[in-house]
Structure 1
């Protein structure tokens, strides 16, 4: 149960022959039991993805779920896929930024701004480099607020150096990170194994 984008899971799909061995009186229904178990599992995995990502990153479950795509297993193709796909990277300002407010000319400017997208980690100081200035929070004429850096050596129409807004890693990258994907994989494997047994009993009329 894997995908080519975002989340990568190595969940072992049960062999139909092994399931048939448990369904002596209904061997022909083994593929159906496996199919149902896989489809129940991908639904569960899609829920776990949002929960695990929220525990590790400063992101909401609905934001994660919006990137998820499910491919259900069929009788001909006993493969279920959960993929996280989104080319857009969230704006860094939407995460933990300190200080968060726009600094006016009258305000004392901070030595530097800091930001983080993960929970339970130290904020990273956005001190810039040889090509970019220190980061700062600013409000554009459009009303958009973000955290920006000035690009050294450039010149915009206003005579000032061009601005570059800062973004976080993409949601698919958050989802496929080791600390998120490992937990999802472990839970998914356990759920699938239990669900196969549930579907065997259901198909055989034992439940």
Structure 2
């Protein structure tokens, strides 16, 4: 049965379209135009109570009953559980996936997102302060990721939903004012992932 993905062409939306493609799950996209406040529509609110994209509706959820899931990290974990792909069964192997997924959700997303905001929308006075503060933290996070990827091929060892989550934001590195050449291990990982047909299809999916 076909999953409905409610999304827009943002890093968080791309995380899920990449996962759906890599997991070979059939899906259709219902664009939620966040530039026109579609996320505040009561019908969408019933699916995503935080008024944020992405969200999914899976008509073939647990026990064969429909289920809706909001928050990109929760969606990735749900899809990994549903398919048994990119989410290890062993608790020991699953721990680093969860660690790096939470790292992305808590830092490598909120911080680069602030760079987006201050670079594009802030006044000149606010921009100077905001960009200094959040660019410094964003570069620190890229350095953390680079150090990790100097030790392992993928962030959690094997390819996992954590890679899809982080890639969604690394995809916007130019908006972060970051040159991946400064982080060679991240660049190697980034280029390798984009060699995967499923990843490319996920980023080519029409979300908006």
> Which has more strand, going by share of residues?
1
TM-score normalised by the shorter chain: which range applies?
A: under 0.3
Higher Rg: 1
> Which has more helix, going by share of residues?
2
TM-score (norm 1): 0.26
